[in-house]
């Protein structure tokens, strides 16, 4: 490997267009490295290269072959860059030639980010089949709902068949029980055919515990830093160049080989990197190069709770991430709705923080945080499409003791108000699977480890996690298959009247957001917001061109007076969550000539235009 070009190295076994297999394994401490084809027993010796890489180009390996990597003629291990693990995390890897898939999405164009309306789902619990094919069966439903992008929780190979996905140990391999790499390609292709973008959740802040063989190969981790999951991934210590390339190439693989439109990168605040160039910036630069080469558009969205705009500022002054999740909007909204105020909710006072979230994106932008016990955050003027907001997601449902959804915690009317509050934001709205029809089943934390010590550690860890929330009682057993089954969506309930009504309400909200220029244009500067702490009401005004939209929200349990603009044009109601059409109790006797009141736990939206 005399021409050592790190930025072009793809780990693992990959194929050229003419069927030659390029093998590349990073094992800097090994004296010899071989590929063992497990079905035939044939061994293929790799050549030592620079920087600890072992390589070979050969025609002796074919698509579908099972293999293990043999270190020093002793240890037989799965490939860290395996594209498939059909027998699980401890079994042999499988050779995959991605060039053989017949894509039909040549005319697909990834929408502008501001057009994303996101639906987060978990493959194993979204459909009865619990597979990529099961998701495909529901794409017409999602299209009719009105969302424009699905976000799939992590699919990197994890132990067993039940997991949220954040215990993945093979970043390049697609979960076998979901349908493997071919199943994911078929799903992405089908989504594009339906006009839906695909966001894939990936994890670069840690690697799961069971089946994690990375340390057998090289210095993938460093003891310089600790994370909640153990030693940090080595992004800035000795031998970090090869580790950085490993994860950077993983990003490019999802975009190039699987046609994924965007990545959601899990908890990047837990990535420890003090290099002159942060790994996220390096990833962004590589994605920009890929896009220039292919002509396709891709986005990088981060989960990030540090309120540091440097991460989402454009290159070169920032790291160039295209967007981030905003937990603070969720926290302020939940507290305003009457949710608990313990744990990380303790920093939020309610409706005044919600008003600030509408206006400033970050609630904490430099003031003191009692929960963190320090000043926290920076002010941001970044455009609205860089912020993803929600009233619930997998974390804030599943990390409750019992995994209760909003449909169990809040009244029917409050659920509609929460949905309305999200849909009128100058940001990107996201739904969590099932909320659109008020799914009653919980979403609980589940795993399927095979190591008894690991199972015991997970059970203990879940108990410790709930101490900050003063939660009493027993958490459901994460290892139990019943916990997993309990968390699956109940699609039969969608035919019951109350669930049908909620679904109709969500569809109406989504259509309204798309058709209203004032709501669809994510201009944070064309927005006014105020609130009344005593009455627990919030008033939001957004506009674009000649169109003005006024949103009135009543989070209290009492009828409140409305203060319509006195000098403006005539207004008409385009949505009232208390309308009988949506199962509400609004009556004409309450409404008067110009609807001077707003019912408890409801939202009314006015406009001066015909929407």
Q: Is 329 annotated as a binding residue?
A: yes
Q: Report d(CA 532, CA 67) in Å as an integer.
A: 65
Q: Report d(CA 462, CA 446) in Å as an integer.
A: 11
Yes or no: say if 560 and 554 are a contact pair by the CB < 8 Å rule: yes
Q: What is the DSSP string of 151-207?
A: EEPP-EE-SSS---STT-SEEEEE-GGGTHHHHHHHHHHHHHHTT-EEEEEE--S--
Domain spans of the chain?
Answer: 116-450+482-507, 523-607
C-alpha closest to that of 270 among 323, 219, 204: 204
Mean pLDDT of the chain: 94
**Model pLDDT for residues 536-547, shown as the tens digit of each residue:** 999 999 999 999
Q: Report d(CA 197, CA 116) in Å as an integer.
A: 8
Q: What is the pLDDT of residue 465?
A: 66
Q: Does domain 116-450+482-507 have CATH number 3.20.20.80?
A: yes
Residue 284: in which H helix or E strand, if any? Answer: helix 279-294
Q: Is 114 annotated as a binding residue?
A: no
* Maximum CA extent, the chain: 86
Q: Is 409 exposed, middle or buried (0-12, 13-18, 19+ CB in 10 A)?
A: middle
Q: Is 394 annotated as a binding residue?
A: yes
Q: What is the DSSP string of 240-258?
A: HHHHHHHHHHHHHHHHHTT
Q: At what angle do helices 412-423 and 497-515 cross, to 10 degrees?
A: 20
The secondary structure of residue 474, as a DSSP letter, is P
184-197 burial code (b ≥16 CB/10 A, e <16): bbebbbbbbeeebb
Q: Which two tokens stand for residue 272?
A: 């420890």
**Model pLDDT for residues 485-516, shown as the tens digit of each residue:** 999 999 999 999 999 999 999 999 999 999 99
In the chain, the N- to C-terminal Cα span, in Å, equals 62
Q: Is 266 annotated as a binding residue?
A: yes
- Does 586 or 496 have the greater pLDDT score? 496
Q: Is 22 annotated as a binding residue?
A: no
Q: Is 27 annotated as a binding residue?
A: no
Q: Which two tokens stand for residue 36?
A: 């063992």
**Model pLDDT for residues 98-136, shown as the tens digit of each residue:** 999 999 999 999 999 999 999 999 999 999 999 999 999
> What is the architecture, at CATH level 2, of domain 523-607?
Sandwich (2.60)
Q: Which two tokens stand for residue 40?
A: 């035939």
Q: Report d(CA 413, CA 356) in Å as an integer.
A: 24
Could you tell me how many helices (H) and strands (E) the chain has, helices first?
17, 30
Q: What is the pLDDT of residue 467?
A: 62
Q: Which residues are catalytic?
A: 266, 303
Give the dihedral of Cα atoms 204, 209, 212, 218; nearest 10 deg.
70
Q: What sign for the dihedral angle of Cα 368, 341, 425, 297?
A: positive
C-alpha closest to that of 266 among 393, 401, 103, 447: 393
Does residue 469 register a pLDDT over 70? Answer: no
Strand 547-554 relative to strand 602-607, pairing: antiparallel
**Model pLDDT for residues 129-161, shown as the tens digit of each residue:** 999 999 999 999 999 999 999 999 999 999 999
Does residue 470 register a pLDDT over 80? Answer: no
Does residue 591 register a pLDDT over 70? Answer: no
Q: Is 562 exposed, middle or buried (0-12, 13-18, 19+ CB in 10 A)?
A: middle
Q: Report d(CA 553, CA 541) in Å as an integer.
A: 12
Does residue 3 register a pLDDT over 50? Answer: no
The secondary structure of residue 101, as a DSSP letter, is -
């Amino acid at each position: 490997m005399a021409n050592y070009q790190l930025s072009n190295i793809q780990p693992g076994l990959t194929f050229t267009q003419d069927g030659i297999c390029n093998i590349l394994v990073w094992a800097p401490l090994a004296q010899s490295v071989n590929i063992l084809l497990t079905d035939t027993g044939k061994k293929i010796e790799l050549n030592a290269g620079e920087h600890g890489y072992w390589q070979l180009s050969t025609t002796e390996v074919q698509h579908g072959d099972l293999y293990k990597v043999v270190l020093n003629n002793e240890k037989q291990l799965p490939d860290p860059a395996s594209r498939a693990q059909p027998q699980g995390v401890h079994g042999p890897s499988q050779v995959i030639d991605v060039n053989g898939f017949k894509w039909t999405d040549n005319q697909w164009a990834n929408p502008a980010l501001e057009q994303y309306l996101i639906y987060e789902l978990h493959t194993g619990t979204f459909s009865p089949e619990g597979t990529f094919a099961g998701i495909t069966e529901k794409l017409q439903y999602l299209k009719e709902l009105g969302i424009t992008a699905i976000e799939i929780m992590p699919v990197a190979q994890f132990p067993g068949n039940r997991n949220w996905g954040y215990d993945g140990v093979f970043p390049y391999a697609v979960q076998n029980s979901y349908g493997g790499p071919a199943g994911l390609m078929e799903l992405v292709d089908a989504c594009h055919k339906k006009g839906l973008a695909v966001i894939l959740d990936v994890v670069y802040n840690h690697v799961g515990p069971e089946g994690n063989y990375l340390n057998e190969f090289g210095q993938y981790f460093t003891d310089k830093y600790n994370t909640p999951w153990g030693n940090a991934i080595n992004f800035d210590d000795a031998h970090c160049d090869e580790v950085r390339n490993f994860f950077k190439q993983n990003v490019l693989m999802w975009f190039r080989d699987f046609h994924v439109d965007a990545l959601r990168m899990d908890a990047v605040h837990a990535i420890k990197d003090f290099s002159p160039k942060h790994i996220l910036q390096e990833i962004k630069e590589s994605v920009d190069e890929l896009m220039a080469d292919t002509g396709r558009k891709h986005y990088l969205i981060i989960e990030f709770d540090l309120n540091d705009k440097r991460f989402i500022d454009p290159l070169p002054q920032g790291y160039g991430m295209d967007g981030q999740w905003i937990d603070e909007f969720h926290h302020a909204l939940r507290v305003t709705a009457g949710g608990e105020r313990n744990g990380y909710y303790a920093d939020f006072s309610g409706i005044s923080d919600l008003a600030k979230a509408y206006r400033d994106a970050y609630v904490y932008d430099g003031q003191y945080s009692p929960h963190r016990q320090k000043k926290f955050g920076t002010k941001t003027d970044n455009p609205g499409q860089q912020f993803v907001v929600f009233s619930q997601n997998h974390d804030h449902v599943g990390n409750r003791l019992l995994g209760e959804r909003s449909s169990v915690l809040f009244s029917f009317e409050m659920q509609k108000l929460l949905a309305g509050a999200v849909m009128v934001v100058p940001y990107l709205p996201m739904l969590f699977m099932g909320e659109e029809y008020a799914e009653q089943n919980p979403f609980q934390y589940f795993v399927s480890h095979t190591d008894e010590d690991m199972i015991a550690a997970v059970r203990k860890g879940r108990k410790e996690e709930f101490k900050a929330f003063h939660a009493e009682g027993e958490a459901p057993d994460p290892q139990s298959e019943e916990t997993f089954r309990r968390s699956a969506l109940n699609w039969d309930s969608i035919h019951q009247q109350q669930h049908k009504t909620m679904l109709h309400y969500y569809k109406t909200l989504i259509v309204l957001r798309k058709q209203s220029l004032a709501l669809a244009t994510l201009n944070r500067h064309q927005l006014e917001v105020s609130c009344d702490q005593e009455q627990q009401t919030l008033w939001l005004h957004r506009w674009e061109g000649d169109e003005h939209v006024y949103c009135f929200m009543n989070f209290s349990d009492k009828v409140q007076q409305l203060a319509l603009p006195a000098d403006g044009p005539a207004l008409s109601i385009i949505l009232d969550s208390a309308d009988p059409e949506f199962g509400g109790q609004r009556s004409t006797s309450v409404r008067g000539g110009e609807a001077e009141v707003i019912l408890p736990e409801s939202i009314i939206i006015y406009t001066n235009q015909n929407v």
